[in-house]
Protein backbone atom coordinates (compact mmCIF):
# COMPACT_ATOMS: atom_id res chain seq x y z
CA UNK A 1 0.00 0.00 0.00
CA UNK A 2 1.19 3.53 -0.84
CA UNK A 3 0.12 6.44 1.37
CA UNK A 4 -0.50 9.96 0.03
CA UNK A 5 -0.69 13.01 2.30
CA UNK A 6 -1.67 16.50 1.16
CA UNK A 7 -2.62 19.48 3.26
CA UNK A 8 -4.52 22.74 3.19
CA UNK A 9 -4.20 25.36 5.90
CA UNK A 10 -6.24 23.36 8.40
CA UNK A 11 -6.98 19.90 6.98
CA UNK A 12 -5.06 16.85 5.80
CA UNK A 13 -6.21 14.84 2.78
CA UNK A 14 -5.16 11.20 3.14
CA UNK A 15 -5.46 8.74 0.27
CA UNK A 16 -3.96 5.33 -0.46
CA UNK A 17 -2.94 3.36 -3.52
CA UNK A 18 -3.68 -0.35 -3.32
CA UNK A 19 -3.70 -3.36 -5.63
CA UNK A 20 -7.16 -4.81 -6.24
CA UNK A 21 -7.43 -7.88 -8.48
CA UNK A 22 -4.03 -7.13 -9.92
CA UNK A 23 -4.80 -3.50 -10.81
CA UNK A 24 -3.73 -0.34 -8.93
CA UNK A 25 -6.53 1.70 -7.38
CA UNK A 26 -6.56 5.07 -5.59
CA UNK A 27 -8.88 5.28 -2.58
CA UNK A 28 -9.65 8.31 -0.41
CA UNK A 29 -8.95 7.33 3.17
CA UNK A 30 -10.37 10.52 4.61
CA UNK A 31 -10.10 14.25 5.27
CA UNK A 32 -9.13 15.08 8.82
CA UNK A 33 -8.34 18.19 10.84
CA UNK A 34 -5.27 17.52 13.04
CA UNK A 35 -5.24 18.77 16.63
CA UNK A 36 -2.00 20.57 15.79
CA UNK A 37 -0.28 21.32 12.46
CA UNK A 38 3.10 19.94 13.53
CA UNK A 39 4.45 16.49 12.64
CA UNK A 40 3.06 14.87 15.78
CA UNK A 41 -0.45 16.19 15.13
CA UNK A 42 -0.42 15.10 11.47
CA UNK A 43 0.95 11.66 12.35
CA UNK A 44 -1.78 11.24 14.96
CA UNK A 45 -4.42 12.15 12.35
CA UNK A 46 -2.98 9.63 9.86
CA UNK A 47 -2.90 6.90 12.52
CA UNK A 48 -6.50 7.67 13.45
CA UNK A 49 -7.73 7.30 9.86
CA UNK A 50 -5.76 4.09 9.38
CA UNK A 51 -7.23 2.65 12.57
CA UNK A 52 -10.77 3.60 11.50
CA UNK A 53 -10.19 1.70 8.25
CA UNK A 54 -8.49 -1.25 9.98
CA UNK A 55 -5.15 -0.66 8.28
CA UNK A 56 -1.96 -1.76 10.01
CA UNK A 57 0.85 0.25 8.44
CA UNK A 58 3.52 -2.11 9.73
CA UNK A 59 2.34 -4.92 7.42
CA UNK A 60 1.12 -3.06 4.33
CA UNK A 61 2.91 0.28 3.87
CA UNK A 62 5.53 0.42 1.09
CA UNK A 63 5.85 4.14 0.25
CA UNK A 64 4.50 7.54 1.26
CA UNK A 65 4.21 10.67 -0.87
CA UNK A 66 3.74 14.24 0.36
CA UNK A 67 4.67 17.78 -0.56
CA UNK A 68 8.17 18.97 0.30
CA UNK A 69 7.25 20.90 3.46
CA UNK A 70 9.65 20.37 6.36
CA UNK A 71 6.79 19.13 8.52
CA UNK A 72 6.59 16.13 6.16
CA UNK A 73 10.23 15.65 5.10
CA UNK A 74 12.15 16.80 8.18
CA UNK A 75 15.16 14.50 8.58
CA UNK A 76 14.70 13.88 12.31
CA UNK A 77 11.10 14.70 13.25
CA UNK A 78 9.19 14.90 9.94
CA UNK A 79 6.01 12.89 9.45
CA UNK A 80 7.60 10.51 6.93
CA UNK A 81 10.68 9.98 9.08
CA UNK A 82 8.46 9.11 12.06
CA UNK A 83 6.46 6.69 9.92
CA UNK A 84 9.71 4.93 9.03
CA UNK A 85 10.85 4.82 12.63
CA UNK A 86 7.54 3.73 14.15
CA UNK A 87 5.91 1.52 11.52
CA UNK A 88 7.87 0.77 8.33
CA UNK A 89 11.68 1.13 8.21
CA UNK A 90 11.59 -0.02 4.55
CA UNK A 91 9.13 2.71 3.52
CA UNK A 92 10.18 4.82 0.51
CA UNK A 93 9.73 8.58 0.88
CA UNK A 94 8.56 10.33 -2.31
CA UNK A 95 8.18 14.08 -2.68
CA UNK A 96 5.20 15.14 -4.82
CA UNK A 97 6.37 15.41 -8.44
CA UNK A 98 4.02 18.31 -9.22
CA UNK A 99 5.48 20.30 -6.32
CA UNK A 100 9.01 19.46 -7.44
CA UNK A 101 8.33 20.73 -10.94
CA UNK A 102 6.87 23.97 -9.62
CA UNK A 103 9.87 24.48 -7.35
CA UNK A 104 12.20 23.77 -10.30
CA UNK A 105 10.61 26.54 -12.35
CA UNK A 106 10.47 28.89 -9.38
CA UNK A 107 14.20 28.41 -8.77
CA UNK A 108 15.00 28.76 -12.47
CA UNK A 109 13.13 32.05 -12.84
CA UNK A 110 14.86 33.78 -9.94
CA UNK A 111 16.93 36.81 -10.97
CA UNK A 112 15.75 36.59 -14.60
CA UNK A 113 13.52 38.71 -16.82
CA UNK A 114 10.52 36.85 -15.42
CA UNK A 115 10.81 38.85 -12.19
CA UNK A 116 9.73 41.93 -14.17
CA UNK A 117 6.75 40.04 -15.56
CA UNK A 118 5.78 38.96 -12.05
CA UNK A 119 6.10 42.56 -10.87
CA UNK A 120 3.75 43.71 -13.62
CA UNK A 121 1.19 40.98 -12.83
CA UNK A 122 1.34 41.75 -9.09
CA UNK A 123 0.85 45.49 -9.69
CA UNK A 124 -2.16 44.89 -11.93
CA UNK A 125 -3.72 42.46 -9.45
CA UNK A 126 -3.22 44.87 -6.54
CA UNK A 127 -4.52 47.86 -8.49
CA UNK A 128 -7.86 46.30 -9.43
CA UNK A 129 -8.29 44.34 -6.22
CA UNK A 130 -7.95 47.42 -4.01
CA UNK A 131 -10.21 49.68 -6.03
CA UNK A 132 -13.73 48.63 -6.95
CA UNK A 133 -14.01 51.91 -8.84
CA UNK A 134 -11.06 51.15 -11.11
CA UNK A 135 -12.31 47.61 -11.73
CA UNK A 136 -15.73 48.98 -12.70
CA UNK A 137 -14.07 51.51 -15.02
CA UNK A 138 -12.07 48.73 -16.68
CA UNK A 139 -15.19 46.61 -17.23
CA UNK A 140 -17.10 49.59 -18.65
CA UNK A 141 -14.18 50.33 -20.96
CA UNK A 142 -14.14 46.71 -22.10
CA UNK A 143 -17.83 46.90 -22.96
CA UNK A 144 -17.23 50.07 -24.95
CA UNK A 145 -14.44 48.32 -26.87
CA UNK A 146 -16.65 45.22 -27.25
CA UNK A 147 -14.20 43.06 -25.30
CA UNK A 148 -14.84 40.63 -22.47
CA UNK A 149 -12.60 41.73 -19.61
CA UNK A 150 -11.14 39.15 -17.23
CA UNK A 151 -10.33 40.30 -13.72
CA UNK A 152 -6.54 40.30 -13.11
CA UNK A 153 -5.63 37.41 -10.81
CA UNK A 154 -2.76 36.61 -8.50
CA UNK A 155 0.36 35.26 -10.18
CA UNK A 156 1.49 33.55 -6.97
CA UNK A 157 -0.13 30.87 -4.87
CA UNK A 158 -0.06 27.24 -3.79
CA UNK A 159 -0.38 26.04 -7.40
CA UNK A 160 2.07 28.63 -8.68
CA UNK A 161 2.28 27.56 -12.34
CA UNK A 162 -1.49 27.57 -12.82
CA UNK A 163 -1.82 30.93 -11.03
CA UNK A 164 0.76 32.45 -13.37
CA UNK A 165 -0.92 30.94 -16.44
CA UNK A 166 -4.30 32.41 -15.45
CA UNK A 167 -2.73 35.81 -14.75
CA UNK A 168 -1.01 35.83 -18.16
CA UNK A 169 -4.20 34.73 -19.93
CA UNK A 170 -6.04 37.64 -18.28
CA UNK A 171 -3.26 40.07 -19.27
CA UNK A 172 -3.35 38.97 -22.92
CA UNK A 173 -7.17 39.08 -23.05
CA UNK A 174 -7.37 42.52 -21.41
CA UNK A 175 -4.36 44.11 -23.08
CA UNK A 176 -6.20 46.71 -25.16
CA UNK A 177 -8.59 47.70 -22.36
CA UNK A 178 -5.77 47.80 -19.81
CA UNK A 179 -3.62 49.97 -22.06
CA UNK A 180 -6.36 52.53 -22.60
CA UNK A 181 -7.43 52.56 -18.95
CA UNK A 182 -3.93 52.92 -17.55
CA UNK A 183 -3.01 55.63 -20.05
CA UNK A 184 -6.18 57.53 -19.13
CA UNK A 185 -5.18 57.40 -15.47
CA UNK A 186 -1.49 58.11 -16.01
CA UNK A 187 -1.83 61.68 -14.75
CA UNK A 188 -3.72 60.75 -11.59
CA UNK A 189 -1.83 61.39 -8.32
CA UNK A 190 -1.34 58.87 -5.54
CA UNK A 191 0.09 55.40 -5.07
CA UNK A 192 -2.36 53.83 -7.54
CA UNK A 193 -0.41 55.27 -10.47
CA UNK A 194 0.98 52.31 -12.41
CA UNK A 195 3.41 52.40 -15.30
CA UNK A 196 2.50 50.02 -18.11
CA UNK A 197 5.60 47.88 -18.50
CA UNK A 198 3.87 45.35 -20.73
CA UNK A 199 4.94 46.91 -24.03
CA UNK A 200 8.58 45.85 -23.78
CA UNK A 201 7.64 42.57 -22.11
CA UNK A 202 5.26 41.56 -24.89
CA UNK A 203 7.60 42.72 -27.66
CA UNK A 204 10.44 40.69 -26.19
CA UNK A 205 8.13 37.70 -25.83
CA UNK A 206 7.26 38.01 -29.50
CA UNK A 207 10.94 37.85 -30.45
CA UNK A 208 11.17 34.59 -28.54
CA UNK A 209 7.92 33.12 -29.86
CA UNK A 210 8.98 33.66 -33.48
CA UNK A 211 11.77 31.17 -32.88
CA UNK A 212 9.31 28.48 -31.86
CA UNK A 213 8.48 26.22 -34.81
CA UNK A 214 5.22 24.96 -33.38
CA UNK A 215 3.73 27.23 -30.71
CA UNK A 216 1.31 25.49 -28.38
CA UNK A 217 -2.39 26.13 -27.79
CA UNK A 218 -1.70 28.94 -25.34
CA UNK A 219 0.98 30.63 -27.41
CA UNK A 220 -0.63 30.37 -30.85
CA UNK A 221 -3.53 32.83 -30.30
CA UNK A 222 -1.15 35.24 -28.58
CA UNK A 223 1.33 35.07 -31.44
CA UNK A 224 -1.34 35.40 -34.11
CA UNK A 225 -2.66 38.57 -32.45
CA UNK A 226 0.52 40.47 -33.39
CA UNK A 227 0.55 42.45 -36.66
CA UNK A 228 3.28 44.57 -38.23
CA UNK A 229 2.74 48.24 -39.05
CA UNK A 230 4.06 50.66 -41.64
CA UNK A 231 6.45 52.11 -39.06
CA UNK A 232 9.76 50.31 -38.76
CA UNK A 233 10.22 48.44 -35.50
CA UNK A 234 6.60 48.87 -34.38
CA UNK A 235 4.02 46.12 -33.94
CA UNK A 236 0.40 46.09 -32.85
CA UNK A 237 -1.22 43.82 -30.29
CA UNK A 238 -5.00 44.17 -30.15
CA UNK A 239 -4.73 47.63 -31.66
CA UNK A 240 -2.06 48.87 -29.24
CA UNK A 241 1.23 49.98 -30.80
CA UNK A 242 4.26 48.28 -29.28
CA UNK A 243 7.78 49.45 -29.99
CA UNK A 244 10.29 46.73 -30.79
CA UNK A 245 13.88 47.28 -29.68
CA UNK A 246 16.75 46.13 -31.88
CA UNK A 247 18.33 44.23 -29.02
CA UNK A 248 15.17 42.27 -28.13
CA UNK A 249 15.90 39.29 -30.37
CA UNK A 250 19.45 38.81 -29.15
CA UNK A 251 18.51 39.43 -25.53
CA UNK A 252 15.70 36.90 -25.59
CA UNK A 253 17.79 34.28 -27.37
CA UNK A 254 20.35 34.64 -24.60
CA UNK A 255 17.68 34.55 -21.88
CA UNK A 256 15.99 31.53 -23.43
CA UNK A 257 19.23 29.53 -23.34
CA UNK A 258 19.96 30.69 -19.81
CA UNK A 259 16.50 29.86 -18.49
CA UNK A 260 16.36 26.47 -20.21
CA UNK A 261 19.74 25.63 -18.68
CA UNK A 262 18.50 26.79 -15.28
CA UNK A 263 15.37 24.65 -15.54
CA UNK A 264 17.41 21.62 -16.62
CA UNK A 265 19.81 22.05 -13.71
CA UNK A 266 16.97 22.49 -11.21
CA UNK A 267 15.17 19.39 -12.47
CA UNK A 268 18.39 17.38 -12.27
CA UNK A 269 18.89 18.48 -8.67
CA UNK A 270 15.35 18.01 -7.40
CA UNK A 271 14.74 14.71 -9.23
CA UNK A 272 18.15 13.19 -8.55
CA UNK A 273 16.66 10.42 -6.40
CA UNK A 274 14.82 8.97 -9.39
CA UNK A 275 18.13 8.23 -11.10
CA UNK A 276 20.17 7.27 -8.03
CA UNK A 277 17.84 5.49 -5.59
CA UNK A 278 18.40 1.73 -6.19
CA UNK A 279 14.90 0.77 -5.00
CA UNK A 280 13.15 3.27 -7.27
CA UNK A 281 15.33 2.17 -10.18
CA UNK A 282 14.49 -1.48 -9.50
CA UNK A 283 10.76 -0.69 -9.45
CA UNK A 284 10.97 0.40 -13.10
CA UNK A 285 10.64 -3.25 -14.15
CA UNK A 286 6.92 -2.97 -13.38
CA UNK A 287 6.48 -0.34 -16.10
CA UNK A 288 5.09 -2.17 -19.17
CA UNK A 289 6.99 0.23 -21.43
CA UNK A 290 10.26 -1.23 -20.16
CA UNK A 291 9.40 -4.81 -21.12
CA UNK A 292 11.79 -6.15 -23.78
CA UNK A 293 10.28 -6.76 -27.21
CA UNK A 294 12.56 -9.71 -27.86
CA UNK A 295 10.95 -12.85 -26.39
CA UNK A 296 14.33 -14.41 -25.63
CA UNK A 297 15.17 -11.44 -23.39
CA UNK A 298 12.04 -11.76 -21.24
CA UNK A 299 13.19 -14.76 -19.16
CA UNK A 300 16.15 -13.03 -17.47
CA UNK A 301 14.40 -9.65 -17.47
CA UNK A 302 14.18 -8.08 -14.02
CA UNK A 303 15.96 -10.83 -12.07
CA UNK A 304 18.40 -8.47 -10.37
CA UNK A 305 15.71 -5.87 -9.75
CA UNK A 306 13.34 -8.40 -8.14
CA UNK A 307 16.15 -9.56 -5.87
CA UNK A 308 16.89 -5.97 -4.85
CA UNK A 309 13.22 -5.27 -4.10
CA UNK A 310 12.88 -8.48 -2.11
CA UNK A 311 15.90 -7.59 -0.02
CA UNK A 312 14.60 -4.09 0.68
CA UNK A 313 11.03 -5.13 1.55
CA UNK A 314 11.90 -8.50 3.12
CA UNK A 315 10.40 -7.73 6.59
CA UNK A 316 7.15 -6.58 4.98
CA UNK A 317 6.99 -9.58 2.64
CA UNK A 318 7.69 -12.07 5.44
CA UNK A 319 5.05 -10.52 7.70
CA UNK A 320 2.50 -11.11 4.93
CA UNK A 321 3.46 -14.78 4.50
CA UNK A 322 5.54 -14.39 1.35
CA UNK A 323 8.24 -16.98 0.63
CA UNK A 324 11.02 -14.58 -0.34
CA UNK A 325 13.45 -17.35 -1.25
CA UNK A 326 10.95 -18.78 -3.72
CA UNK A 327 10.37 -15.37 -5.31
CA UNK A 328 14.09 -14.83 -5.88
CA UNK A 329 14.50 -18.16 -7.70
Q: Tell me: the pLDDT tens digits for 267-312?
A: 778 888 777 888 988 888 888 888 887 777 777 888 888 899 999 9
Residue 197 is predicted with a pLDDT of 39
Residue 229 is predicted with a pLDDT of 55
CB 104 within 8 Å of CB 266:
yes
Measured between alpha carbons, how far is 87 from 30 in angstroms, rounded to an integer? 20
CB 194 within 8 Å of CB 124:
yes
Q: Coil, strand, or helix at residue 110?
A: coil
Q: How many residues does the chain have?
A: 329
Q: Tell me: the pLDDT tens digits for 100-155?
A: 888 887 788 777 777 788 888 888 888 888 888 888 888 888 888 888 888 888 87
Q: Tell me: the pLDDT tens digits for 144-186?
A: 888 888 888 887 766 677 788 888 888 888 888 888 888 776 5
pTM of this prediction? 0.59
Strand order in the sheet with 2-7: 23-32, 12-20, 2-7, 63-66, 92-95
CB 142 within 8 Å of CB 128:
no
Question: In percent, how much of the chain has pLDDT > 70?
Answer: 77
Phi first, then psi: what are they for 284, rounded to 5°? Answer: -65, -15
Which residues of the chain are in CATH 3.30.420.40 domains?
Answer: 1-95
CATH topology of domain 1-95: Nucleotidyltransferase; domain 5 (3.30.420)
CB 114: neighbour CB atoms within 10 A?
A: 17
Residue 301 is predicted with a pLDDT of 84
Residue 312 is predicted with a pLDDT of 92
Sign, CA dihedral 198-200-202-204, equals negative
Measured between alpha carbons, how far is 64 from 67 in angstroms, rounded to an integer? 10
Decide if pLDDT at 64 tops 70: yes
Is residue 33 very low, low, confident or very high in pLDDT (cuts 50, 70, 90)?
confident
Measured between alpha carbons, how far is 169 from 161 in angstroms, rounded to an integer? 12
Is residue 249 very low, low, confident or very high in pLDDT (cuts 50, 70, 90)?
low
Is residue 223 very low, low, confident or very high in pLDDT (cuts 50, 70, 90)?
low
* Strand 63-66, strand 23-32: pairing: unpaired
CA atoms within 13 A on the CB side of 156: 13
Question: In percent, how much of the chain has pLDDT > 90?
Answer: 4
Q: What is the DSSP letter of 277?
A: -
Amino acid sequence: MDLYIDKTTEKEVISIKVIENGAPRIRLLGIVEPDTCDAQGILKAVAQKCEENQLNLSNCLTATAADGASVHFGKTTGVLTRLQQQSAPWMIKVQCIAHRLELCLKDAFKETYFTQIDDLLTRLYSLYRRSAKKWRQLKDLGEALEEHVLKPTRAQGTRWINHRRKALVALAANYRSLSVHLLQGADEPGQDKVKLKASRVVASQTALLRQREKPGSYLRPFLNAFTSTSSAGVFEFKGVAISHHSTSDEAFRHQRVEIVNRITDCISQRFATFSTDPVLLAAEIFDPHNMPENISAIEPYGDEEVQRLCEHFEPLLLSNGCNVAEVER
